[in-house]
Amino acid sequence: MAGAVPKSRRVSSIFRPGLFKDKVAIVTGGGTGIGKAITQELLHLGCKVMIASRNLERLEQAAEEMRSGIPQDSPAQIEHVECNIRKEQQVKTLISSTLAKFGKLDYLVNNGGGQFPGPAASFSLKGWNAVIETNLTGTFLCCREAYNQWMADHGGVILNIIADMWKGFPSMSHTGAARAGVDNLTKSLALEWAANGVRVNSVAPGSSIYSETAAANYGDMKIFEGAIPYIPAKRLGKTEEVSAAVCFLLSPAAAYISGETLKVDGAASLYRSLLNIPEHNKIPAFSWDIDETDPTKSKL
- The amino acid that residue 9 corresponds to is R
pLDDT by 10s per residue, the chain, length 300: 334 444 456 788 999 999 999 999 999 999 999 999 999 999 999 999 999 999 999 999 999 999 999 999 999 999 999 999 999 999 999 999 999 999 999 999 999 999 999 999 999 999 999 999 999 999 999 999 999 999 999 999 999 999 999 999 999 999 999 999 999 999 999 999 999 999 999 999 998 898 887 777 666 557 788 889 999 999 999 999 999 999 999 999 999 999 999 999 999 999 988 888 999 999 999 888 766 666 566 555
Length of the chain: 300
Residue 178's domain comprises 24-270
Asked if residue 293 belongs to a domain, the reply is no
Question: Which is nearest to 79 in space by CA: 48, 110, 105?
Answer: 48
Asked if residue 279 belongs to a domain, the reply is no
CATH number, position 40: 3.40.50.720
CB 50 within 8 A of CB 104: no
CA distance 238 to 210: 6
Asked if residue 174 belongs to a domain, the reply is yes
CB 23 within 8 A of CB 106: yes
Asked if residue 158 belongs to a domain, the reply is yes
CA distance 240 to 33: 10
CA distance 262 to 205: 8
Asked if residue 276 belongs to a domain, the reply is no
CB 131 within 8 A of CB 114: yes
Cβ-based neighbour number of residue 62 at 10 Å = 25
- Tally the domains of the chain: 1
